[in-house]
Structure 1
Amino acid sequence: MSATAKRPLIMGLCGAQGSGKSTLSDSLAARLRVTGVRAAVLSLDDLYLTKAARQRLARDIHPLLAIRGVPGTHDVALGLSVLDNVARPGPTVLPRFDKSVDDRDAVGVIVDGPVDLLLLEGWCVGAVPQDNAALHHPVNELERVQDPDGRWRRYVNGRLAGDYQRLFARLDGLILLAAPDFAVVRDWRCQQEETLRARLRATGNPADQTMTDRQVAAFVQFYERLTRHILAEMPGRADLVLRLDAGRQVVED
């Protein structure tokens, strides 16, 4: 970054799958733009590694890494590059990931810099690793059956302890949308898939690119360990905690 570049304010927004963080981020950025603030949104989901890259991880490290989601399946260097680039004058390409085909969009979205505010939103934005002792016991069937020796979860935790912390260290503030418990995440994620199906049908694309409720139930197990850890640990240090009910409404503590 050049010495004359203006550093944008970088705010993190963490929330479980389906909690409404993307909607909130986009709405907030739009309102700020109306007031003259140059605001942009970067989703952690849009930093997912390509399908080919995840397949290489699955072959070389652990088969579960073929599935997007956990730390270790994102391109953190790309995220850091975006944070640097939006501070400079001129266009920056924000990456986009197409979940309907499970791969990165080749085009992305262009924003003109420098921006004043970047919202970094994602299900594990700002998360910290677990103690090694916490990794010994599986939290669900996925871990019991497909990661019996804990190799996958140790890799995930190790990556979270490494380059992800460099990314999260760039945050100037952290907001947590706190789900009432992990049990609601499956329902929220199913609702997301139904919304995606409706959008695909409206554009003439096949809706079978989305997940069934049964597939969602299996998929959210990839997120369970770290989501539970976030809900237990992050409220004590986040700058703002918005506690949600099952309908995603903010409730009083």
Structure 2
Amino acid sequence: MSTGTHATAKAGFPAAFVARCLDDALAHRARVYGITGLQGSGKSTLAAQMAALAVERGHAVAVLSVDDAYLDHGQRARLAREVHPLLATRGPPGTHDVALACRTLDALRTGETVTLPRFDKLADRRLPEADWPRAGPVDLVLFEGWFLGTPPEPDAALAEPINALERDEDADGRWRRWCNAALARDYPPLWQRIDRLLFLQGPGFDIVPDWRWQQEQSLQAGHPGRKAMTRDQVERFVQFFERTSRQAMRTLPRIADRTVRLDAHHDPL
């Protein structure tokens, strides 16, 4: 078994809810079970809880996050020079190594023992391969990420900026159009590798800055000698995700196999 170590603000979901989610994965014989939801919604926490319960039941499990497939700092710096400066920031579509994520899921699905990529968010770099954990063979892969399954927006929706970041730093729309094109072109093969998708539906995007700030505080508490983002930096950072997050909220309730609504305290409704 290999479970992720990604910190979140959520202390834990109720045991009965975790059991229902695991039962959902096992009942549908999902080799790759996707967990998606807005930033800070508790995806990593739920994946870790499901993995622990699955192990208790005798199943071998691996946990992978789409965040672990971020392009490294240098790769994003090159995109920033060649395409748009905003691409230096990790997160939006186009800043992931989709091929790496697909290869990893494929290997796990076929029963291989593989190394799982890991990304250090405080350092903003992918960990060296020598530090990646090994997993496999496994019965179940829990794959979590904030926009799994999300389709691109129509071109007309990109015309007007959605927040201050887009208005001030992407006035001509070049960055958001590039990200949307990447979402349409690169990510469907990754989404197709998900056998069943659970959507943790938060109360709305307005809660994300608070949830993401809680997440950053958890990261800082776990690594007190390292520097996390300030509240102002978090407020700016979530604007990189707002457009695709709102598209996810519009579309995933009809795309996901199962949708669970959460209140502002992460409690399932």
TM-score (normalised: structure 2):
0.86
* 1:108 to partner: Cα distance: 1.4
Partner of 2:169: 146
Decide which of 129, 133, 136 is 1:109's aligned counterpart. 133
Structure 1, residues 161-215: CA drift from partner, whole Å, max 9, x if none? 11211110111111101110101000001001111111112xxx23xx2001111
1:100 and 1:211 mapped to 2: Cα distance? Answer: 8
1:28 aligns with 2:63: no
1:70 aligns with 2:92: yes
Partner of 1:56: 78
Partner of 2:265: 247
Partner of 1:3: none
Give the secondary-structure state (helix, strand or coil) at the position aligned to 1:124: coil
Give the secondary-structure state (helix, strand or coil) at the position aligned to 2:217: helix
Q: Is the 8 Å Cα contact of residues 8 and 87 (structure 1) preserved in structure 2?
A: no
2:38 and 2:195 mapped to 1: Cα distance? Answer: 21
What is the RMSD of the two structures over their aligned residues, measured on CA atoms? 1.3
Q: Is the 8 Å Cα contact of residues 32 and 109 (structure 2) preserved in structure 1?
A: no
1:129 aligns with 2:147: no
- Superposed counterparts of 1:137-216, under 5 Å: 137-201=160-224, 205-206=225-226, 209-216=227-234
1:198 and 1:226 mapped to 2: Cα distance? Answer: 29
Q: What code does the residue aligned with 1:30 have? A: A
Give the secondary-structure state (helix, strand or coil) at the position aligned to 2:253: helix
1:172 and 1:90 mapped to 2: Cα distance? Answer: 18
* 1:146 to partner: Cα distance: 0.6
1:110 and 1:36 mapped to 2: Cα distance? Answer: 19
1:8–1:230 distance in 2 versus 1, CA, 3 Å: closer
Decide which of 102, 114, 117 is 1:92's aligned counterpart. 114
* 1:236 to partner: Cα distance: 1.7
2:89 and 2:73 mapped to 1: Cα distance? Answer: 9
1:144 and 1:217 mapped to 2: Cα distance? Answer: 15
Deviates further, 83-92 or 239-248:
83-92
* 1:91 to partner: Cα distance: 2.4
Aligned length: 239
Q: What code does the residue aligned with 2:135 have? A: V
Q: Is the 8 Å Cα contact of residues 8 and 116 (structure 1) preserved in structure 2?
A: no
* 1:237 to partner: Cα distance: 2.3
Q: Is the 8 Å Cα contact of residues 47 and 97 (structure 1) preserved in structure 2?
A: yes
1:105 and 1:51 mapped to 2: Cα distance? Answer: 11
Where structure 2 has 5 or more consecutive residues not aligned to the other structure, the ranges are 1-28
Give the secondary-structure state (helix, strand or coil) at the position aligned to 2:113: strand
* 1:87 to partner: Cα distance: 3.1
1:225 aligns with 2:225: no
* 1:142 to partner: Cα distance: 0.4
Partner of 2:254: 236
* 1:90 to partner: Cα distance: 4.6
2:176 and 2:219 mapped to 1: Cα distance? Answer: 29
1:9 and 1:51 mapped to 2: Cα distance? Answer: 31
